[in-house]
């Protein structure tokens, strides 16, 4: 039986506290994770243009709720942000009409071998430094050819300037973009990368792929016209080696996005992890996840729904609303600002959602989100009989008889035949003629006893469901939410395409075939 793992990525918001519980990670023997993302929040830097509205977190509820005699904590916010804020993706559509948006960059371009080109000495000597094609060719003489479908990360020692706008743009007057002084990619090098190498993305630790002094954005235009996307204000590049790592990139899946907040992580191979029992496919670097995918041992399945203004949502969670849309010509530029509830679309519920002072989303350790084993429980048959049925401990025991024990540290996913209902409109998805009234909802979910059992006996780290809520629609006291939050774990709601993944379990040396691109929460 082939093995598989769930890879989930989460965006980050400001945070406070601590996590509870830690399971050993199946990939720990091979390498370690490096988070390449700054916290997404009010301190995040954005292009100093009056159009680019500041980040705002609007509290919708942050209090104890009473339902009958029952009282419990709940917290939920609306996020407002420009698409291009902090660590973010530039979709090709930002500078090239009709190219990929943030929501339709294919997964095969979002999990890729990485290379880091270190130009920190040059950038510190000359803040207007431009990386030439000749310098990239010199780099290849030392480190080997840039691998096929690579993410090329340019390191200029700019992260020590974060989050000062004056220091990132390197000018006493950020309102005047003619005074910006930071390094970037020379347009000739961009042309060479798209014509002589096959890459998926270029990333930089500065605010822009182009130099500060480049006012026509030529490298942006050259790359994005070929559907090569950008990553800007990438964090922690100082912690990466030149080669021997994979990059995982999870942009918010904004269907129309010219860009958007992104979670980026690198998996860096340990030096003694070289003997992994496979032959590298491309170039000089050994990239394990990508190698498995390219050998057809594994394939990627996107478990996220696209975000658009009309998707189903919990009544108290604000739908996606574009507060600004700008499209300019010569050169072509497109960008937006948006507001949306944290709990919209395929998203994580951090513990803090239902546990006062519980873990917030940026405190969930990367190794609980990436490369973790996954299992899928299907209760389709039960759900056909009773639309509010729940997964029980007996269902799990039955599953284990057929598939073996749920592996330690897994994310468990609940399927009940809802895969096609997302597109059939909110009434069908929530099972109610009144999609604004949660008390009328009908769909299956988890229950407290099975959450407690899987946490205590199987060390599960997260619970995902294809429904709108972790709890069954008819539940009014949120017992599964509360059990998951009080265990310090996370939930994933509105998981897409569960019908396309198998129920099988993990063998720890093997790597991912499943990829959940999940987004905002507390």
**Residues of the shown chain interacting with Zn ion in the complex, contacts defined by CB under 5 A:** 84, 90, 232, 259, 343, 349, 493
Residue 269 CB burial class (10 angstroms; 0-12, 13-18, ≥19): buried
The residue among 112 and 348 lying less far from Zn ion, judged by its C-beta, is: 348
The residue among 208 and 291 lying less far from Zn ion, judged by its C-beta, is: 208
Contact 235, 40 (CB under 8 A): no
The residue among 341 and 373 lying less far from Zn ion, judged by its C-beta, is: 341
Minimum CB distance to Zn ion, residue 232 (Å): 5
Minimum CB distance to Zn ion, residue 106 (Å): 20
Minimum CB distance to Zn ion, residue 456 (Å): 23
Residue showing tokens 């090239």: 96
Minimum CB distance to Zn ion, residue 260 (Å): 9
Q: Distance between CA 24 and CA 461 in Å, rounded?
A: 11
Residue 382 CB burial class (10 angstroms; 0-12, 13-18, ≥19): middle
Q: Distance between CA 84 and CA 103 in Å, rounded?
A: 14
Residue showing tokens 């129309």: 256
Q: In 3D, which of 507, 497, 493 has the Cα closest to residue 107?
A: 497
The residue among 124 and 215 lying less far from Zn ion, judged by its C-beta, is: 215
The residue among 251 and 283 lying less far from Zn ion, judged by its C-beta, is: 251
The residue among 45 and 130 lying less far from Zn ion, judged by its C-beta, is: 45
The residue among 235 and 505 lying less far from Zn ion, judged by its C-beta, is: 235
Q: Distance between CA 481 and CA 315 in Å, rounded?
A: 17
Minimum CB distance to Zn ion, residue 458 (Å): 23
Inter-CA distances, 43 with 17, 28, 156, 428, Å: 18, 32, 21, 40
Minimum CB distance to Zn ion, residue 88 (Å): 6
The residue among 90 and 159 lying less far from Zn ion, judged by its C-beta, is: 90
Minimum CB distance to Zn ion, residue 21 (Å): 20
What is residue 401's three-state secondary structure? helix
Q: Distance between CA 389 and CA 111 in Å, rounded?
A: 36
Q: Distance between CA 372 and CA 376 in Å, rounded?
A: 13
Residue 25 CB burial class (10 angstroms; 0-12, 13-18, ≥19): buried
Q: Distance between CA 24 and CA 34 in Å, rounded?
A: 17
CA 336 distance to own-chain centroid: 19
What is residue 429's three-state secondary structure? helix
Contact 151, 249 (CB under 8 A): yes
Residue showing tokens 């009080």: 486
Residue showing tokens 């592996």: 407
Minimum CB distance to Zn ion, residue 422 (Å): 16
The residue among 90 and 286 lying less far from Zn ion, judged by its C-beta, is: 90
Minimum CB distance to Zn ion, residue 491 (Å): 7
Residue 448: HSE in the Cβ half-sphere, 13 Å Cα cutoff: 8
Minimum CB distance to Zn ion, residue 270 (Å): 33
The residue among 214 and 493 lying less far from Zn ion, judged by its C-beta, is: 493
Q: In 3D, which of 336, 342, 344, 262 has the Cα closest to residue 83?
A: 336
Residue 341 CB burial class (10 angstroms; 0-12, 13-18, ≥19): buried
Write b or e for each residue in 220-235: b if 16 or more Cβ atoms lie within 10 A of its Cβ, otherwise e.
Answer: bbbbbbbbbbbbbbbb
CA angle (70 as vertex; 64, 71 as ends), nearest 5: 15
Minimum CB distance to Zn ion, residue 186 (Å): 19
Looking at residue 500, the DSSP 8-state letter turns out to be G
Element (H, E) at 464: strand 462-465
The residue among 399 and 463 lying less far from Zn ion, judged by its C-beta, is: 463
Q: Distance between CA 303 and CA 79 in Å, rounded?
A: 22
What is residue 232's three-state secondary structure? strand
Expressed in angstroms, the distance from the first to the final Cα of the chain is: 37
The residue among 31 and 86 lying less far from Zn ion, judged by its C-beta, is: 86
Minimum CB distance to Zn ion, residue 438 (Å): 13
Minimum CB distance to Zn ion, residue 179 (Å): 19
The residue among 182 and 300 lying less far from Zn ion, judged by its C-beta, is: 182
């Amino acid at each position: 039986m082939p093995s598989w793992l769930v890879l989930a990525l989460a965006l980050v918001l400001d945070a406070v506290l601590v996590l509870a519980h830690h399971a050993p990670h199946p990939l720990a023997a091979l390498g370690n994770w490096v988070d390449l993302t700054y916290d997404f929040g009010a301190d995040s830097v954005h292009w100093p243009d009056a159009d680019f509205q500041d980040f705002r977190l609007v509290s919708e509820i942050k209090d104890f709720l009473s339902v009958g005699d029952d009282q419990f904590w709940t917290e939920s916010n609306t996020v407002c942000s420009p698409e291009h804020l902090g660590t973010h993706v530039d979709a090709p559509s930002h500078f090239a009409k009709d190219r990929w948006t943030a929501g339709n960059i294919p997964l095969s371009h979002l999990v890729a071998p990485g290379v880091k080109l270190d130009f920190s000495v040059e950038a510190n000597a000359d803040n207007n430094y431009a990386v030439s094609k000749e310098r990239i060719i010199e780099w290849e003489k030392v480190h080997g050819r840039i691998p096929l479908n690579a993410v090329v990360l340019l390191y200029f020692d700019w992260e020590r300037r974060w989050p000062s706008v004056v220091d990132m743009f390197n000018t006493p007057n950020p309102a005047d973009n003619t005074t910006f002084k930071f390094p970037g990619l020379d347009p000739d090098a961009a042309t060479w990368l798209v014509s002589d190498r096959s890459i998926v993305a270029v990333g930089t630790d500065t605010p822009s792929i182009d130099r500060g002094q480049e006012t026509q954005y030529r490298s942006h235009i050259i790359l994005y016209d070929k559907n090569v996307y950008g990553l800007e204000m990438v964090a922690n590049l100082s912690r990466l080696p030149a080669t021997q790592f994979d990059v995982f990139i999870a942009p918010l899946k904004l269907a129309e996005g010219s860009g958007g907040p992104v979670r980026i992580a690198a998996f860096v191979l340990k030096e003694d992890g070289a003997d992994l029992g496979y032959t590298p496919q491309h170039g000089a670097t050994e990239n394990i996840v990508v190698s498995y995918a390219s050998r057809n041992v594994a394939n990627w399945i996107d478990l996220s729904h696209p975000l658009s203004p009309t998707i189903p949502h919990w009544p108290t969670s604000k739908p996606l609303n574009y507060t600004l849309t700008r499209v300019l010509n010569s050169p072509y530029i497109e960008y937006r600002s948006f507001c949306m509830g944290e709990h919209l679309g395929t998203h994580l519920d951090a513990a803090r959602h239902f546990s006062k002072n519980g873990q917030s989303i940026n405190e969930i350790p990367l190794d609980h989100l990436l490369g973790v084993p996954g299992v899928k429980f299907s209760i389709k048959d039960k759900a056909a009989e009773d639309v509010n049925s729940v997964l029980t401990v007996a269902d799990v025991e039955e599953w284990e008889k057929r598939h073996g024990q749920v592996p330690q540290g897994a994310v468990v996913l609940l399927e009940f035949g809802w895969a096609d209902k997302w597109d059939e409109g909110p009434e069908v998805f929530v099972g109610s003629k009144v999609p604004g009234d949660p008390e009328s909802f009908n769909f299956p979910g988890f229950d407290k006893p099975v959450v407690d059992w899987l946490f205590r006996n199987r060390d599960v780290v997260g619970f995902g469901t294809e429904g709108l809520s972790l709890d069954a629609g008819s539940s009014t006291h949120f017992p599964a939410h509360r059990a998951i939050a009080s265990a310090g774990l996370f939930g994933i709601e509105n998981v897409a395409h569960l019908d396309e993944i198998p129920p099988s379990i993990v063998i720890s040396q093997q790597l991912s075939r499943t990829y959940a691109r999940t987004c905002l929460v507390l």
